[in-house]
Amino acid sequence: MKQTRNYYFDNAKVILIFLVVFGHFIRSFIENDPYVLALYKTLYTFHMPAFIIVSGFFAKGFYKKGYIPKLFKKLILPYLLFQVIYSVYYYFLYNKSSLMIDIYNPQWSLWFLLSLFCWNILLYLFVRKWKLPRNKALAIAFAVGIAIGFIDNISNYLSLSRTFVFFPMFLLGFYMKKEHFTQLRTNKARIAATVIPAAVFAFMFFVPEFSDKWLLHSKSYEQLGGKDFLSAFERSGVYLLNIAMSFSFLSFVPKSRHFFTKWGASTLYVYLIHGFFIKSFRESPYPDILPPVQSILLLIAASFILTVLLSSRAFTSLTQPLIELKTSRFTKFLKDVKNFRKNYSEDVKY
């Protein structure tokens, strides 16, 4: 029996992946416009944390036999493959003098695949091996996420910083039930969810010295400008921002099926491939052609079109062997194309 997909979570994922693409597009404009910078930082308070919360919610199957080996094939093998592909791509894009492939330092957005695998391993330790009570597990996860910033060398290597700092979001999502997401959509919750983003945007606009690097969770406190106890309080504040903004976003996600719902099943395709377009865009002269604010509307359209194209049946079928290391949709797509050509030829005859 075919399992029915949950429209709410598909809607959440496709909206979030659109915002990820859009956020990467507008990165080129944040240096010259305070409104774009505030928008960029506001987006980064929630789009990945909310994605991670949803990922944690769907990690409840880790109890099943063979879950980790299956996850290794789904995440680590594509990670290794795309590390090579992106390295070759950057070699030509930036005209590098030599080709270097470093599997221990994730290329740009590939950190998520590595961290997602590690979050599941940590989940196994916290929930199944150590059998920690929920509140204690969350307290330890947040404490580790805060404390890890004091390690000077923690950074992009094996995505260690993001793995430990974002893990509380993943664990929070794991402990959430469907009822919790329903409670987020009550009228009272939505009133708060309207006020919070507006307040956060205002803060980002009027306090421009707040660095967006705090929201990436990829650097130690020393790399962020200061290694003291105040840094721990700042990360704690960022955690509160992440949770409040993620819940605010999830409050307004529609639960019924819409024209975009079907694309929620293909967000991994968008996530892995959109980087090629973003990096090419950043190296193009386009970011200097229009003022930032006027470019925003065009970039919204571009982000939507790119999300749709990379989620399309044709594209996901053609790239399935690369991303899922399977050929079921790819084979079916070729068969459909062959049948179409055959039927078209017969129609032309008559």
Nearest to 156 by CA among 240, 223, 97: 223
Same domain, 28 and 165: yes
Task: In whole angstroms, give the CA distance from residue 86 to residue 323.
Answer: 13
Same domain, 252 and 227: yes
Domain assignment present for residue 349? The answer is yes
Nearest to 213 by CA among 203, 223, 205: 223
Query: What is the per-residue pLDDT for 40?
Result: 97
How many other CB atoms are found less than 10 A from the CB of residue 102? 10
Q: Collect the ranges in the chain with pLDDT lower than 70.
A: 1-3, 290-292, 340-350
Domain assignment present for residue 75? The answer is yes
Task: In whole angstroms, give the CA distance from residue 308 to residue 65.
Answer: 35
Query: What is the per-residue pLDDT for 342?
Result: 66
What's the structural domain count of the chain? 2
Domain assignment present for residue 162? The answer is yes
Same domain, 252 and 342: no
Same domain, 99 and 144: yes
Domain assignment present for residue 268? The answer is yes
Same domain, 213 and 72: yes
List of residues 6+ apart from 9 with CB closer than 8 A:
54, 57, 58, 264
Query: What is the per-residue pLDDT for 135?
Result: 97
Query: What is the per-residue pLDDT for 334?
Result: 82
Classify residue 20 as exposed, middle or buried by CB count within 10 Å of its CB (0-12, 13-18, 19+).
buried
Domain assignment present for residue 215? The answer is yes
Query: What is the per-residue pLDDT for 104?
Result: 94
Domain assignment present for residue 126? The answer is yes
Task: In whole angstroms, give the CA distance from residue 1 to residue 342.
Answer: 32
pLDDT digits (tens, 9 = 90+) for 199-253: 999 999 999 999 999 999 999 999 998 778 899 999 999 999 999 999 999 999 9
Hey, what's the torsion of the CAs at 57, 61, 63, 67, to 10 degrees?
-120
CA angle 46, 50, 52 (to 5 degrees): 125
- Radius of gyration over every alpha carbon of the chain, rounded to an integer in angstroms: 21
Same domain, 214 and 349: no
Query: What is the per-residue pLDDT for 32?
Result: 83
- What's the Cα-to-Cα distance from 254 to each of 14, 175, 229, 303, 308, rounded to whole Å? 12, 22, 41, 20, 18
Domain assignment present for residue 133? The answer is yes
Residue 291, SS3? coil
Same domain, 179 and 306: yes
Same domain, 57 and 47: yes
Same domain, 114 and 227: yes
Same domain, 334 and 240: no
CA angle 92, 37, 201 (to 5 degrees): 140
Alpha helices for the chain (secondary structure H): 7-26, 34-44, 47-57, 67-71, 77-93, 111-123, 134-147, 160-175, 178-183, 187-206, 213-216, 229-251, 267-283, 292-311, 313-323, 328-349
Query: What is the per-residue pLDDT for 1?
Result: 43
Domain assignment present for residue 1? The answer is no
Residue 106 in contact with residue 83, Cβ under 8 Å?
yes
Query: What is the per-residue pLDDT for 267?
Result: 97
Same domain, 235 and 260: yes
Go through the chain and tell me how many residues it has. 350
Residue 343 belongs to what domain range? Answer: 313-350
Task: In whole angstroms, give the CA distance from residue 106 to residue 87.
Answer: 10
